[in-house]
Amino acid sequence: MAGIEELSPAAGPVETRPPEGEIDEDEDEELDETILERLWGLTEMFPDTLRSAAEVTASGSVTVAKKLYSFSRAALWVGTTSFMILVLPVVFETERLQLEQQQLQQQRQILLGPNAGMSGGMPGLMPPAPVKM
Amino acid sequence: MGNVLAASSPAPPSAPGSGVVQGGPGLVSVPPGFSMPSVPPPSVPGQPAGETGSPLPNPGTYEECHRKCKEVVPIQLEGVRLVVNKGLSNHFQVSHTVTLSTLAESGYRFGATYVGTQQTGPAESFPVMMGDMDNTGSLNAQVIHQLTSAVRSKIAIQTQQHKFVNWQCDLEYRGDDFTSAVTLGNPDVLLGSGIIVAHYLQSISPALALGGELVYHRRPGEEGAVTSLMGRYTGNNYVATLTLGGAGAHATYYHRANDQLQLGVEFEGSMRTQETAVSFGYQLDLPKANLLFKGSVDSNWVVGAVLEKKLLPLPLSLALGAFLNQKKNTFQCGVNVTVG
């Protein structure tokens, strides 16, 4: 009689323990997630609004970074080529002119003494062109 | 003189406008149908406005008003061009041009200029005859002559190989304080087609000049007219010009910053294509370095510059040009060498 009572469902929870050797296999079968999936699963502890806000921020900043990178590439190219076309030749020529004038001044100094080459002695210095309207 | 083929979409046909009837200098009578600028004509003809005692200056021609700004902007050079100019005498000059280009046809062009003996000013002599012939046989010819002290006439023809493409004749009258011009373009009596352009420019004050243009074009079965008004204000070191017409608006501003730097800003809006463009140009003049540099930036993302240098001991002049379209990423450069 007591044996039948023991086996009936009303008897209460029965503690069963599988034999030792099977424990590791079962645990291994349950652990079919990779490390990354487990770490990602940890984020599920945060509330939904926080999770969605973080996701939007992250993707938004990636987009902004990409756009900024491509914009700065284009801007650098446009700036460099425009500078090259609009400003560089004049810079070259004025530098060359300065060097020439310096050289001539030095030559004059050597020829005529230290106080010779200063004012009015530079060749090629023409009076400014009259204002034409 | 004038862009004869400037007629665009026909406006409602107004009465055909011919030139302004001119009497003596200062007498302005306007034929009906000709649109005058919105300024009351001088009430006392023949007397300077305001009776300040100093007469108003002649305002120049209609086409020259935008020219100061256009000269500051560089021209796009393409390929290699060698120009040899030789003056055979005081009156006669000959030029040979060899053009090598990747985009267009390469060719040789021979040009001759004859300047006559009637001298009207320190730098002007008349008649002036210029002719230009291509290696394919295309001819450009112009004859400019000063008929009387106030009337100048010009005849120009242009052919493409043996076919006449453009033939026009124009007459310009310079009064004391106004200029009027009539141009007859491609008149064809047999077909009944042609273009008539009438210009009028009047000095309102020593700084302000107002003017108008009327273009009437006619083809068998179709005729139309376009009018436009123009105002030009000249300041101490700047010139501002505005042209408003049926074809759109065109405004230019020219500023002389110092004796080395000149700036120009140009705004163009077209009614036909509904497009606007702004361009900014500058010209840097360094006579010490024998250098002339022109640069321009456009609202169509076009950046361009032309560098002209005189290689002095020889009468040689070198021009290098580069134009870059940033948006379409196309580039064009060219070299011009001028001898003599």
Q: Mean pLDDT across the stretch B204-222?
A: 92
pLDDT digits (tens, 9 = 90+) for B106-140: 999 999 999 988 887 777 888 999 999 999 999 99
Question: Chain B: nearest CA to A112, how far in angstroms?
Answer: 24
Residue B107 structure tokens: 């060719």
| Mean pLDDT of the residues in chain A | 78
Contact residues, chain A, for B320 at CB < 8 Å? 89
Confidence class of residue B324 from pLDDT cuts 50, 70 and 90? very high
What is residue A129's predicted lDDT score, i.e. its pLDDT? 55
- In chain B, % of residues over pLDDT 70: 84
Q: Is the pLDDT of residue B250 over 70?
A: yes
Contact residues, chain A, for B304 at CB < 8 Å? 85
Residue closest to B226 by CA, chosen among B197, B205, B186: B197
The dihedrals phi and psi of A35, each to the nearest 5 degrees, come to: -60, -40
The nearest alpha carbon in chain A to B236 belongs to A133
pLDDT digits (tens, 9 = 90+) for B139-152: 999 999 998 888 99
The whole-angstrom separation of Cα B195 and Cα B17 is: 11
Contact residues, chain B, for A124 at CB < 8 Å? 288
The whole-angstrom separation of Cα A7 and Cα A25 is: 29
Say whether residue A124 is in contact with chain B using an 8 A CB cutoff: yes
The whole-angstrom separation of Cα A128 and Cα B330 is: 38
A93·B289 Cβ contact <8 A: yes
Of B256, B259, B305, the CB nearest to A86: B305
What is residue A130's predicted lDDT score, i.e. its pLDDT? 56
Calculate the alpha carbon distances from A108 to A117, B22, B255 in Å: 5, 65, 39
Of B287, B288, B307, the CB nearest to A89: B307
Confidence class of residue B22 from pLDDT cuts 50, 70 and 90? very low
What is residue B1's predicted lDDT score, i.e. its pLDDT? 42
Confidence class of residue A24 from pLDDT cuts 50, 70 and 90? low
What is residue B31's predicted lDDT score, i.e. its pLDDT? 45
What is residue A20's predicted lDDT score, i.e. its pLDDT? 55
Interface with chain B: mutation pick from A76, A80, A86, A105, highest number of B CBs within 10 Å: A86
pLDDT digits (tens, 9 = 90+) for B175-200: 888 999 999 999 999 988 999 999 99
Interface with chain A: mutation pick from B307, B312, B320, B328, highest number of A CBs within 10 Å: B307
Q: Where is B232: in which H helix or E strand?
A: strand B222-234
What is residue A25's predicted lDDT score, i.e. its pLDDT? 56
The whole-angstrom separation of Cα B264 and Cα B280 is: 6
Residue closest to B66 by CA, chosen among B279, B214, B225, B325: B279
The whole-angstrom separation of Cα B86 and Cα B275 is: 44
Contact residues, chain A, for B293 at CB < 8 Å? 89-90, 93
Q: Is the pLDDT of residue A41 over 80?
A: yes
Assembly ipTM? 0.70
Q: Mean pLDDT across the stretch B309-323?
A: 93
Which residues, listed in sequence order, are joined to residue B252 by a DSSP beta bridge? B241, B266
CB atoms within 10 A of CB A105: 15
Q: Is the pLDDT of residue B35 over 70?
A: no
Structure-token match 């090259």, residue found: A84
Q: pTM here?
A: 0.71
Question: Chain A: nearest CA to B295, how far in angstroms?
Answer: 6
Confidence class of residue A18 from pLDDT cuts 50, 70 and 90? low
List, as one string, the DSSP characters of B130-191. Answer: EEEEETTS-EEEEEEEE-SSSEEEEEEEEEETTEEEEEEEEEEEE-SSEEEEEEEEEEETTT
Q: Is the pLDDT of residue B164 over 60?
A: yes
| Mean pLDDT of the residues in chain B | 84
